[in-house]
Structure 1
Amino acid sequence: MCTAEATASLLQVEETFSACLARIDALILKPLLQAGSDQKGKENLKLFLLSIPSLGVRWHIKFGRQRSGNLQKKYLMNLCLNSLSRSEAWKHHKTVLKQFLTDFTSETSMSLALYTVLHKPIRDHIMQYILLLTKLNEFLKEGSEKDVVTSAIKEYMKLESFVSQVLDEACFTKSLWKSLGYKFTDMLCVPERRLLEDSKNLPISASTNRSDRILLFDDVLVLIQGNSFQSFDLKLVWVDENSFLFLCPQAVWQWKLNQAVRQALNGKRDFPLWGKTGEGTEPPSCRFFTYVFKLEGKFKSASYEGEWHWGKPHGKGTLKWRDGRNHVGDFKEGLEHGFGICLVPRRSEDRYDCYKCHWYKGKMRGYGICEYGNDMVYKGYFKDNMRQGFGILENFSAEHPFKYTGQWENDKKNGYGVWEDKDRGERYIGTWLDDHKHGQGIVVTQSGVCYQRTFHADKMVGCGILLLEDDYVYEGNFTEDLTFVGKGKLSFANGFILEGTFTNKSGQGLQTHGILNTSNEQLDDRITKAQLGLEEFPVEKRWKGIYDQFLEFIHSGCKEETEESFMGFHIQTSKELRKSQEYLFCQRYEGTEDVSWKIEDILEELVQHQGLESLPSYLEKALKSSLHPLGKLLKALTIAFQATYSGIGANKHLLTMAQEEIKYYAKKIWEFYQGLLHLALEQKGQLSAKHVEGDISDQKACSMVLPLILPCFYPELFMLYMLYHEREDDLYCQGIMDLSLFPDIKLLEFLDVQKHLWPLKDLTLTTNQRRSLIKDKCFLSATECLQKLITTVDPREKLVILQKTYEEIESTVSRVVEKDYKLPMDDLLPLLMYVVSRAKIQHLGAEIHLIRDLMDPTNQGGLYDFLLTALESCYEHIQRMRLHQRENCHVTHSS
């Protein structure tokens, strides 16, 4: 029976409260919604609507989780009455509304009455529910129903405490605004702001003066010092046990600060007052927020939007300054750290400098790409915001286009580097000091003229060597326009040598006083084909900046986060950053999915493929991949090599310099492979004395690496070989043209090939080979085999082709004599010369010397060496034949 009465009482209370809410809606809310015809009314309406979620219109026990603190805005009600006075609905219901307000309060003030009616019904309703539920709970037996009612009572009691708390905060806030001066209230007073704590009421031990006052609001923390104050947004306040914006050791203050910060970040109050778990959780140390820096420093007046950690920018973010500068990228402990893109406006120009670089503790460090507003682009390494190490600076403007590839120090060209002046058609290869050509240098011109000279601050000093296109060599002093002056020696291509003093008077041309040696001795090859830069630029000192970056990467432990800054950019998750980033001088190589790119996987694979059987294939894949450190290193070396020897730099006097450079590349790549393997084994605890000493010799290693990297440099290198051996190859080609006039039988006879070796009948050669007919082509299979020499790059493959050519010749001869026949040298040379003359390889001299220079030293003295020597003999014999014909023609003509 009591349960039924309690239920009826609850229904009656609910009906009464619903009727009250209906009257509030009809007499207050709807008239107010019709008000606000002018701008002031609209503003008052907006302020009033802020309090609507707390009116209890949508009554529910969970409603206490909303911002109930907005109930107590007495000063807000005064503003709202201005709008109500303009409402026609207000005028119609004014008498009824007065009576309605009188039912709730005896206060005569209309604003206080309105204030009371908006919170008194809900408070009374909560108390009635608590009383009724308590009575109901007394008559229920132990069980699930009693547990539900008990839980409901506790929730209503929490709600009652919550409402009381926010009402108290409103009263404290009202008192605070009255006590503060107009200077502070004008700046701090916001209708929805509530005071949570005041150091005047609860003292705090701080590193501030005793006269300072600290106010904790629900959205900001205010530090008042005399007649000034500082305001800190709670979303950017971090509370530590010992420090935050000031020292804060008191537990109560620390707890209240943590609670206020957490609530500000969540955008709602805790319900109940201490949250579900009592004191609640601490606010996160990592946050995302926008803030404008005001204190002195590099970020002053800059707006930062991004991730924060303990009060400092940390993670992804964007900085924007008022002068147009902005920085987008990674931050760490308040500074730029990691990959970032920075835009800097240029003075007096409507253009920007764009820095896409890696940063370290607020400064550019590591690899970066800088696109300047004056049409210059730098790709290379930085340290402390300055170009440092290897880098490429290129000017794309039409006024003075140039390109520098080389070493930098303190933002200036220092050390070994290559400068290409595209206007003058010149390339300087040599040393630099403080942005000037300084020390030994080689200048190569577009016309093919090449000279080596000592420079001092861009000026030529002392004597030098000048190499002209027609193989004239001048040693002595000369001017910038390549005019001979002073003492010097001029060597002619025919062997004559003129030594004396040279002058160049206006209108009289070049004059000399000296001795002309006409002994007609052949000019020393060392002079006619002088090789420059060998002593002046030791190979181990060239491109040191590239090697240093790789060594630093290994010494750092090959951490994945450092790979980008040392070896080039990595894939960015952000679409904008991905558009801006590049790899080290190359685009992503799409064919290397089978090679892992994560550095930990690379180190693991190094250990797995260290055996001699699998090592060559692993190195081949690694060097082809632009994602592997060794592949990145090879790509950078390729760029440096091309900058030196391609285009204008294709000069025969640089052949030996280029050749030894490639051999050194192979040596360094092997050293770096060993460094990576050593690190991988050390990290796995598998390093042994065997690995320290190495079980593969450096000579064997270079023989393994050189053929793998040679394709990257082959076009430029072979061009140098062709230029170097151009005269010999011209003689050889003329000889080939003369021999091609002979029919097969006549040529065999002319070359003194033994007649019993001539294929005078149809022969069917080995499987998949064509017939060798006397009326068609003799030794056709051998000729076609030798022609494949020009289709390969690797000296090993070229030697294999030469061996197969020899086997084809021997196989044909064996079929002719109808027995196995081993060719002696006397028989091999004429037959090989016949095959060479029919193969008509245009640059055979360049091919032979490239094989000889780059072949594996272990092949010396073996079959390959024997066959290569035989091919050299054929080549030289064909040249001598042409020379002999020229001499005979010359004698006949003279007669």
Structure 2
Amino acid sequence: MTSYRYSNGDVYDGHFKEGQRHGHGLYHYGGPSPKSTSIYIGEWAEDKRHGYGVLEDIMKGEKYMGMWNEDMKHGKSIVVTLDGMYFEGNYDRDSLMGFGLMLTYDNSCYEGEFNGITQLQGKGKLIMPTGDSIEGIFSGSWNEGLKINGMFKKSDGQQETKKAKLKVQIPSSHYGKMSVPADKKWEGMFVQCRTVLGVKGQAKPDCNKAWEGVAVMVSKGRQVLHEMKSRNMSSKWKKFQGSFVEEIEKIPPHNKGTLTTEYYNDIKRYLDRAFEITFHPLGKLMDGLASQPCCSRSKFLCKRIYLTVRILFPDLPQNGGPLQIRSEKYVDIDSDDETDGVIALQSTKSEKQVVSAGGLLHPILLPKIYPPLFDLYALHNDKMDEKYWERVQKLNKQGDVALMAYLGVDQKFWLLDESFFSKGSSSLSNIRDHCYVIAIERLQQISTAFSPKEKLQVIRDSFTEITETVQTTLGEEHIWCMDELFPIFQYVVVRSKIRHLGAEVHFIDDLMERYLENGELGIMFTTLYACYYQIQNEKIPTH
């Protein structure tokens, strides 16, 4: 990767081939400063923008995210403008043409034929914020005036009700279907990484050859660090990279044939370091991806990174698991009863571990992209979270006893000393933040977890604290039924006052691995979602 400044002030940071921009690169028109007129991040071929790329035109106040061909916008794309306009469709030689979608700042929606940005030309349907619509032939500019020959349809009054139930309030079934598929984005970075690992095109990966590529790149990285040291270039970055280079110079076991817990933990430790250092192919890949606007497709990103990791560690489950493994002390080397994609249950009482693509990579990938990623979920669920938050604030005006009584918590689970009852109703009404305090504190930690599994474990910790608190207070073991447990957990959710709970729930639901759905964690997550829904829709006390 090279940085090059052109005579006109433009700067290119990226890959070259035979003196031409080729592969993935970042181009600053006007230089990397506030004076830049536009920035392009994406793929190049023979000095031309070619493949997937993002062009942020600062002068026009417009961002194009889509395909390029021979230096022209060409293919599936999304365009977002500074004044709140959203376009989705197909470009043909730098112009939006044919069927597409337009969303406006006032929540109007047009789906139909285009002859350029904001230029409506042909059959289409315009849906207004009220739900009323016009369907027919459109001609003209959205900004300057439209000529319409069509039929006006009055909303039946149920549009707003229907929309309110949707997570994304966009009245078009075409939304998201004309953009570039996730597996076509940032292909250049993955191709570059695979090339370093000795894999070209669709060739079958060679594990040993891949590790040779790693060794060469790490060795070059060490040379760079030595040069920095000889020039007395002191920096935290240099020391950080230097310590990690020493740890990853030794090639770990990588092709044993059988995956055990010890072997898997060694792989995890190695990957934790490899993804942090830019002198490693995986670290370079992660550094590039984390700086790109690709976080909204993190599920697909994780899958593609996992396929790259398997080039180095082919013993990992072929399709991302889940696969249940055991300690090498208990593994029968001749056994072949573990099938990829299925959790194989063993009769031994040895400690087991479930291996999956998400379990391996989420703790590495998601912390790097979490802030912008969660912002997307927060925006996505803004309307529902506003409704939920308004009700949570009203419910929290109640004291503990009044709130638990309203939520239907059985009185024996109020866990109050008899002394409270002897002091009269005025004393009971003053009790606040006394019940299930630790369970509430545990659930509040959901906002500090970065991966779906970590968030699920926070939910489980909260349930565990509820059980321990009840059993300690009652002095006996208690087997829950949902009629007893649900109101208590709903009390904990209300008192936790998690501002963007809808975004948290959506994040978990989107990214959690499906094998977790039917287990304990899945049931607990469903209970949290039910609480969120109940808080939004149940009548609240007015006194």
TM-score class normalised by the smaller sequence: 0.7 to 0.9
Deviations 1:48-71 (A, max 9, x none): xxxxxxxxxxxxxxxxxxxxxxxx
Paired position in structure 1 for 2:196: 553
Counterpart contact for 1:733–1:842, Cα < 8 Å? yes
SS at structure 1 position matched to 2:265: coil
Instruction: Provide the C-alpha distance between the structure 1 equivalents of 2:175 and 2:433, rounded to a whole number of angstroms.
Output: 49
Residue 542 of structure 1: which of 167, 185, 190 is its match? 185
Deviations 1:836-890 (A, max 9, x none): 11111111111111112212332121110011000000001111137x99xx9xx
Over aligned residue pairs, what C-alpha RMSD do you find?
3.9
Higher relative contact order (CA 8 A, sep 6+): 2
1:744 aligns with 2:392: no
Instruction: Provide the C-alpha distance between the structure 1 equivalents of 2:519 and 2:214, rounded to a whole number of angstroms.
Output: 50
Instruction: Using structure 1 for the length normalisation, give the TM-score.
Output: 0.48
Counterpart contact for 1:413–1:435, Cα < 8 Å? yes
1:874 aligns with 2:531: yes
Counterpart contact for 1:762–1:774, Cα < 8 Å? no
Counterpart contact for 2:125–2:134, Cα < 8 Å? yes
Amino acid aligned to 1:378: Y
Q: CA deviation at 1:410?
A: 0.7
Change (3 A) 1:668 1:634: farther
Amino acid aligned to 1:748: M
Counterpart contact for 2:68–2:75, Cα < 8 Å? yes
Paired position in structure 1 for 2:320: none
Residue 26 of structure 2: which of 392, 397, 420 is its match? 392
Paired position in structure 2 for 1:702: 357
Instruction: Provide the C-alpha distance between the structure 1 equivalents of 2:315 and 2:15, rounded to a whole number of angstroms.
Output: 22
SS at structure 1 position matched to 2:538: helix
Counterpart contact for 1:476–1:487, Cα < 8 Å? yes
Q: CA deviation at 1:755?
A: 1.8
Instruction: Provide the C-alpha distance between the structure 2 equivalents of 1:508 and 1:391, rounded to a whole number of angstroms.
Output: 38
Runs of at least 5 residues in structure 1 that lack an aligned partner in the other structure: 1-366, 646-654, 678-689, 764-772, 889-895
Residue 446 of structure 2: which of 782, 789, 801 is its match? 789
Aligned residue runs from structure 1 range 388-787, under 5 A = 388-397=22-31, 401-478=37-114, 482=118, 484-492=120-128, 495-502=131-138, 512=148, 513-519=150-156, 520-521=158-159, 522-523=162-163, 525=166, 527-528=170-171, 536-555=179-198, 557=209, 559=212, 563=216, 571=224, 588=238, 590=240, 593-596=243-246, 601-604=249-252, 606=254, 611-639=263-291, 642-644=292-294, 655=296, 658-674=297-313, 697=340, 700-703=355-358, 704-761=360-417, 774-787=431-444
Q: CA deviation at 1:408?
A: 0.7
Paired position in structure 2 for 1:848: 505
SS at structure 2 position matched to 1:611: helix
Change (3 A) 1:569 1:466: farther
Instruction: Provide the C-alpha distance between the structure 2 equivalents of 1:743 and 1:826, rounded to a whole number of angstroms.
Output: 22
Identity %: 29
Amino acid aligned to 1:596: E
SS at structure 2 position matched to 1:785: helix
Change (3 A) 1:432 1:730: same
Instruction: Provide the C-alpha distance between the structure 1 equivalents of 2:500 and 2:26, rounded to a whole number of angstroms.
Output: 34
Change (3 A) 1:569 1:414: farther
Instruction: Provide the C-alpha distance between the structure 2 equivalents of 1:579 and 1:530, rounded to a whole number of angstroms.
Output: 60
Instruction: Provide the C-alpha distance between the structure 2 equivalents of 1:858 and 1:461, rounded to a whole number of angstroms.
Output: 43
Change (3 A) 1:435 1:565: farther
Amino acid aligned to 1:631: G
Change (3 A) 1:490 1:535: closer
Q: CA deviation at 1:812?
A: 2.6
Counterpart contact for 1:589–1:626, Cα < 8 Å? no
Runs of at least 5 residues in structure 2 that lack an aligned partner in the other structure: 200-208, 317-332, 343-354, 420-429
Change (3 A) 1:506 1:752: closer
Amino acid aligned to 2:524: L
1:368 aligns with 2:5: no
Q: CA deviation at 1:540?
A: 2.6
1:819 aligns with 2:476: yes
Paired position in structure 2 for 1:165: none
Aligned residue runs from structure 1 range 8-407, under 5 A = 367-397=1-31, 401-407=37-43
Instruction: Provide the C-alpha distance between the structure 2 equivalents of 1:507 and 1:400, rounded to a whole number of angstroms.
Output: 27
Counterpart contact for 2:120–2:139, Cα < 8 Å? yes
Q: Which region of structure 1 is more displaced relative to structure 2, 622-631 or 418-427?
A: 622-631
Counterpart contact for 2:225–2:242, Cα < 8 Å? no
Change (3 A) 1:537 1:478: closer
Counterpart contact for 1:799–1:864, Cα < 8 Å? yes
SS at structure 1 position matched to 2:409: coil
Q: CA deviation at 1:469?
A: 4.2
Amino acid aligned to 1:632: K
Change (3 A) 1:605 1:578: farther
Instruction: Provide the C-alpha distance between the structure 2 equivalents of 1:629 and 1:791, rounded to a whole number of angstroms.
Output: 30
Q: CA deviation at 1:737?
A: 1.5
Higher alpha-carbon Rg: 1
Counterpart contact for 2:124–2:138, Cα < 8 Å? yes
Deviations 1:283-338 (A, max 9, x none): xxxxxxxxxxxxxxxxxxxxxxxxxxxxxxxxxxxxxxxxxxxxxxxxxxxxxxxx
Counterpart contact for 1:404–1:418, Cα < 8 Å? yes
